[in-house]
């Protein structure tokens, strides 16, 4: 049965907007939010849970056989393992609970390929979307990564790791070395939005050790916008999808970060897992 990804994308856009309205209602009263602690610097709010439940319900009604991996509830393995949703109901929860920009990320995977994605930044009303092989867009504008190749003008995004992350050792010395000769470093606070900013050309590159559920849609947009995505050592999706150590960038910034990160002890695969 051939599937029209255009029709699927329309549903993804519609549910992202609905989740946007739901989360915005909580966002407006962020100072009064109930905050749950999932771990060190890892938070959850009712908005994260409600957003995921809304997206699950909407997608299961329309695609009952497809499987689902979210952030707040256990994954659902339906009979059709070929298609799986990867959903981050609020990416940038720490931003969200402090009244700063966040994103809703929905990606559709067919086997080991991301075939469609939607990223919505409700506070900015920026809707990113794309289908593999058909380009990536923000509010209808086609995206292309920055052409910036001058190191002194590069703008790099990242996240500040907490102790306990496997790539934490030496992180701040690395950041110092990366920061020294370039134009600027930014902590956007959402891995998904950081990828979207690379696809849009607001960042020339981004690197972090983070989750693939957060970044699957954003990575599709960067590749559709002419960017490069590898792990910190130049290896492909079979590595960064599992280890989370990713570089997402235009060609020049990718080469710059690969050079700056080459001496970091490699993060190897724990075990093969289907995503
Ligand atoms: C967040 C990422 C961010 C990273 C945070 C956290 P969450 O995801 O978007 O880039 O720095 O540690 O992983 O927890 O808000 O979905």
SS3 content of the chain, % helix, strand, coil (to 5): 35, 30, 35
Between residues 140 and 78, which one has the greater pLDDT?
140
Residues of the chain above pLDDT 70, percent: 98
Closest ligand 1 atom, residue 213 Cα: 16
* 164 Cα to the center of ligand 1, angstroms: 15
Distance CA 138, CA 127 (A): 5
Q: To the nearest whole number, what is the mean pLDDT of the chain?
A: 95
Residues 86/75, Cβ–Cβ less than 8 Å:
no
Question: Quick one: 192 exposed, middle or buried, by C-beta within 10 A (0-12, 13-18, 19+)?
Answer: buried
- Name the residue among 166, 221, 167 with its Cα closest to residue 193: 221
Directed axis angle between helix 212-224 and helix 191-200, to 10°?
0
Closest ligand 1 atom, residue 160 Cα: 11
Angle at 122 between CA 116 and CA 124, to 5 degrees: 110
1 pLDDT band, cuts 50/70/90, is low
161-171 residue pLDDT tens? 988 888 999 99
Residues 232/250, Cβ–Cβ less than 8 Å:
no
271 pLDDT band, cuts 50/70/90, is low
Q: Is the pLDDT of residue 274 over 70?
A: no
* 27 Cα to the center of ligand 1, angstroms: 17
The average pLDDT across 124-151 equals: 98
Reported pTM: 0.95
- Residue holding tokens 């966002």? 27
Distance CA 89, CA 57 (A): 13
- Total residue count of the chain as it appears in this document: 275
Nearest-Å Rg of the Cα atoms of the chain is: 18
* 186 Cα to the center of ligand 1, angstroms: 14
Distance CA 208, CA 247 (A): 7
Q: Is the pLDDT of residue 270 over 80?
A: no
Distance CA 9, CA 134 (A): 12
41-78 residue pLDDT tens? 899 999 999 999 999 999 999 999 999 999 999 999 98
Residues near ligand 1 (Cβ within 6 A):
71, 88, 91-93, 159, 190-191, 208, 210, 214
Comparing 1-5, 216-220, 223-227, 232-236, the range with the smallest average pLDDT is 1-5
The bridge status of strand 80-91 relative to strand 245-249 is unpaired
20 pLDDT band, cuts 50/70/90, is very high
272 pLDDT band, cuts 50/70/90, is very low
* 149 Cα to the center of ligand 1, angstroms: 28
Q: Is the pLDDT of residue 273 over 60?
A: no
């Amino acid at each position: 049965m051939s599937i029209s990804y255009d029709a699927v994308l329309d549903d993804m856009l519609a549910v992202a907007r609905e989740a946007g309205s739901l989360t915005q209602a909580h966002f407006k009263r962020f100072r009064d939010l109930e905050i749950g602690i999932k771990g060190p610097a890892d938070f959850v709010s009712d908005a994260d849970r409600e957003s995921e439940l809304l997206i699950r319900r909407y997608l299961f009604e329309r695609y009952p056989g497809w499987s689902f991996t979210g952030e707040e509830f256990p994954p659902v393995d339906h009979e059709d393992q070929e298609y799986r949703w990867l959903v981050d109901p609020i990416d940038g929860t720490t931003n969200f609970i402090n009244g700063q920009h966040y994103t809703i990320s929905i990606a559709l995977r067919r086997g080991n390929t991301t075939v469609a994605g939607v990223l919505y930044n409700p506070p900015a009303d920026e809707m990113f979307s794309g289908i593999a092989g058909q380009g990536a867009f923000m509010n209808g504008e086609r995206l292309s990564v920055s052409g910036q190749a001058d190191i002194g003008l590069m703008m790099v995004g990242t996240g500040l790791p907490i102790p306990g992350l496997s790539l934490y050792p030496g992180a701040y010395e690395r950041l110092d070395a990366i920061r020294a000769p370039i134009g600027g470093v930014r902590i956007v606070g959402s891995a998904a939005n950081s990828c979207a900013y690379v696809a849009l050309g607001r960042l020339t590159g981004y690197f972090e050790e983070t989750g693939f559920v957060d970044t699957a849609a954003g990575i599709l947009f960067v590749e559709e916008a002419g960017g490069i995505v590898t792990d910190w050592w130049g290896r492909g999706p079979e590595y960064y999808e599992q280890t989370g150590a990713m570089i997402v960038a235009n060609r020049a910034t990718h080469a710059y970060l690969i050079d700056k990160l080459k001496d970091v002890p490699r993060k190897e695969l724990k075990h093969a897992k289907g995503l």
